[in-house]
Structure 1
């Protein structure tokens, strides 16, 4: 039976193609905001990092009322590191809006999200966005989108639906059109097409209750909140329900509160019917994939599988000589408590304390996935240190397997040879190459180990003229040793502030990471040498003063601006014997063993030949 008063629609797209802006336009068109209300742009990107990075990190649900129909809109992440969100929330949808930039066409991560939508048998409606931008070619973007759907195995029915249901939009200007130049200046053609053409939920209103939890929210007051779609029956506030876990175990629970989505918020209600999306309070330790069903007539639903984490990082309490100067929260106990709280909220991460209690291991889907957590913690006032990201291997039939990624680079044809060389040195294999007059499209298969630090090398050899994306593909055979960072580090030999005179003499020997006046400590990485082998340096050395003056004495030292690392770049840069120190305002890199004596002892004990002085 079709629930004709509800539509469940996911919006999927590549990063920065305008998903969240399009939702803003739909909300304004349906009078979601009261007259005169001050509304920030991209209202769904409520997280500070989402607004700064320009990406969606967490999936969110809103609902819109239009022509008597409730449209549940699911805003999904476009970045592969947050694929755990994408896979699950698509289970709540019956159709999807594929949003494509009219100038860029489908981009590599459009492929990642669209593959999941097609596999979930969703009907896909294509929205060609940014038709007003310079270089826009809506017809070409549409053809590329249809070709991509074909490549990803879309059925004839899905392709036919997509060809017949196309909307051309400028989300930032608030209009949607059935033809690029029809002159319409509002969003109603898009809303009309969703209501008239997108499939309504096909459900059994009178059957036994069946609801599956696909997203977890958390409240300090009521604990975990299970959010999911109701597939059959009706759920009431106060109902006693059966909870079936992914492993088949069963427990009874009582619904203490029930909510549905209402524009930008949630509305408490006494019941919710099949086809709608609801939030349930009262299920102890509820988890992704839990099925809430009728105890007398239980319904079985397919368990939800999430791609496993591919990288792990160990969080430790900071042991830096400067600890406590910048952050308020520095203790190991507080760090552990914060990460265990994250385990409650973030089911796509695996968070476990190390057996020796020295730190907490956090496993996620990629560098960005892990760095978003670190960035959130440093903004909360935490100081901590983390080691080099470690790839998670697994064994099958006695063979060691490692995660393999599909990487895509688009660059100027003159740089393609250098890009291929960089990938070859990192263990990558080219799988496709398409050369145009202005751009070369390169595709590679490369172990996740080889991806770390690759972006900066690609940007260097292409002079910043490259677009680089990568997505997890599969677990493949271990690819052997992959070359690590070639150049050695400059390591501070003392705990003092850096002096311009000392830096002036050091910049001829490599690239500096610090500026005059920066606080440094013994064991801190202050630069990179232009040759292999680490080198301890004195960053506080000043000029000897005498009673003689020379003609050049008063000429100021000319320093090149230091290289500044983002959190992701620092994590990709460090080696196994190094750490990243994270504080609210600083990101520093350091050796795990701070003194040169300790490093020499370690090298002797482990049979290493350490060229600590170049």
Structure 2
């Protein structure tokens, strides 16, 4: 049913993007704004969130499991001021992890202002710098929201000072340096302009959005020819692709004939079948949406992100948003192990290729190229988590595949080979500072800044600059060196000439030499050889990596050997078998652990490490070839 809705005057419209580092409370704040706007009752929001502690906008399973936002989302709230004026606020929730920066870059074009969330204890972090820089490049002035001020170790004033220093470092203009500060607790649902004046709701935040965020400047272009750029894509089983964007000029109407222009300049005629506007968490079908507002369009297939929907009589394309290039690539290939095809539904190179092509339609920071053979694809992304989320989604959809070791993408700048350089921030206890410095010193890291967070916490804040390839396998070693107490975050700074060698994995691996079921008897006999990734009863095959050797170099072992049955009484009992606790290897941990001659085999039910060449004689022959060359 089509809803007849009056066009919102641009003066009463606000488009706001909420940006922050991961886990600083963006999605929690949006949930509270939805609740306090009066659109939903608390029971409805709890049901939408999937439980008492769920988040509404973290809608897919991976987002709720990991507690992070992966894809940007739109919603709208209506706020009535104490004077009785009604405003519509379009909220854009953005990812906080650096690997999903492509999502942030493309959706900032829909916003007229930003809410910059900063944790009252942690202050600005690497991703804060990244998203803030992108918003400043678009001329968006931030409202600084210091969240989690109710934390026992909160230091809100120090966090505000650090935000100011960051803005100065980013060469922000003087009017941006004079930013408004709001202190808030998103979890408790309150905000205040002064910590000495407590509050019990988010009204000060709504008032500052109305007062500080400018109305969309293109709202005065209602009489111009239509211009809308697609920044997000959605899909419905009933209507196909749904194109989401901001109307930059004119009015978009239902059943309107338009021209769709792709970034290369070619255009084609289409007709809009439905125009959807945002109301709370829902999309309602309306007759028209005017310049300055956000909307979703149905009936324009085929359409991609970056396309311009424009007037049929006077088509004018909008400039496409430049997206930062990927920094990491991996080889995706068909799984050819002995256990392939037993778990998954999609195992062929054609099916994998089609799935990657589908991902390219909405994942603007991803690149896919042909590999060395027809069974391989070279997939490039922003980071390990960016590619890991893609692989995890494919695994849950029923795909089986193998992926190789992540490699950084080198560039040639002014005739010199350069590599990506990252900023790494580590918060760790004072007692672990030496271990952290020693670990990063071996990986060609340069200490940029060191400070103490507070006198009572006993934590030290360290900032480093290091090559991106030095981060491979660093997280597990960092957690081991600090007894699991270190907190790490990183983001790409730029490109610099290639540094020297970075230490590789110090220990070798234990490689199975037979196919079968692992036995406690065999694992007991190998107790002192290292740490195992498998447990008794697991199915293994020749060439599978079953554990980490306790010394350098690979060791071929038999983990399926059973105890010979005789009629002689044994002096000991099988119950006395000693098996070390298994090291659980997640998908990201397995990807970090790899060396050049190894693969991760991913299936819907398991994640296994294996050698590229499964047969031991073939691995030896390959090693001799490399040594002779």
Interval containing the TM-score (normalised by the shorter chain):
over 0.9
Which of 368, 373, 393 lines up with 2:410 in the alignment?
393
Count of paired positions: 606
Q: Which residue of the partner structure matches residue 254 of structure 2? A: 237
Which TM-score applies when normalising by structure 1? Answer: 0.92
Q: Structure 2, unaligned stretches of length 5 or more? A: 1-7, 81-85
Change (3 A) 1:45 1:555: closer
Name which of structure 1's ranges 532-541 and 239-248 shifts more when overlaid on structure 2. 239-248
Match of 2:151 among 133, 137, 142: 133
Contact 1:138 1:180 in 2 (8 A): no
> Within 2, Cα distance between the matches of 1:432 and 1:143?
16
Q: Give the superposition deviation at 1:63.
A: 0.6
Deviations 1:570-595 (A, max 9, x none): 01111111110111221110011111
Name the counterpart of 2:206. 191
Partner of 1:368: 385
Which whole-Å CA distance do the structure 2 matches of 1:171 and 1:508 have between them?
50
Instruction: Kindly state the Cα deviation for residue 12 of structure 1 after the two structures are TM-superposed.
Output: 0.9
Closer, same or farther in 2 for the Cα pair 1:429/1:73, shift >3 Å?
Answer: same
TM-score norm. by structure 2 comes to 0.90
In the other structure, the counterpart of 1:318 is 335
Are positions 1:351 and 2:373 aligned together? Answer: no
Residue matched to 2:3: none
- In structure 1, what is the equivalent of residue 40 of structure 2? 33
Confirm or deny that 1:539 pairs with 2:559.
yes
Q: Are 2:335 and 2:347, in contact at CA under 8 Å, matched by a contact in 1?
A: yes
The 1-side partners of 2:414 and 2:124 are apart by 38
On the 8 A contact 1:2/1:202 being kept in 2, the answer is no
**Partner of 1:567 in structure 2?**
587
Distance 1:60 1:608 in 2: 55
Which structure 2 residues correspond to residues 63-102 of structure 1 after superposition, within 5 A?
Answer: 63-67=76-80, 68-102=86-120
Q: What is the CA distance between 1:416 and its match in structure 2?
A: 2.8
* Contact map agreement 1:496 1:520 (CA 8 A) in 2: yes
The answer to whether 1:403 aligns with 2:423 is: no
Change over 3 Å in CA distance of 1:377–1:275 after alignment to 2: same
> 1:545 offset after TM fit, Å?
5.3
CA separation in 2, counterparts of 1:71 and 1:524? 54
In structure 1, what is the equivalent of residue 126 of structure 2?
108
Q: 2:27 aligns with which of 12, 20, 23?
A: 20
> For the Cα contact (< 8 Å) 2:75–2:281, is it kept in 1?
yes
The equivalent of 1:145 in structure 2 is 163
SS in 2 for 1:600: helix
- The equivalent position to 1:8 in structure 2, one of 6, 15, 38, is 15
Distance 1:180 1:549, change over 3 A: farther
Deviation for aligned residue 1:10: 0.7
Matched, 1:208 2:225: yes
Determine if the alignment matches structure 1 residue 47 to structure 2 residue 47.
no
Deviations 1:26-78 (A, max 9, x none): 11112222575333231000011000111000000101111221110000001
Deviation at 1:487, TM superposition (A): 1.4
Unaligned runs of 5+ in 1: 610-614
Structure 1 window deviating more from structure 2 (49-58 vs 329-338): it is 329-338
Shift of 1:181: 4.9
Alignment of 1:286 with 2:306, yes or no, is no
Counterpart of 1:513 in structure 2 is: 533
**Pairwise CA RMSD of aligned residues?**
2.5
* Mapped pair 1:434 → 2:441: no
Cα shift at 1:284: 4.4
Task: Summarize the Cα distance change of 1:477–1:154 in structure 2 as closer, same or farther, 3 Å threshold.
Answer: same
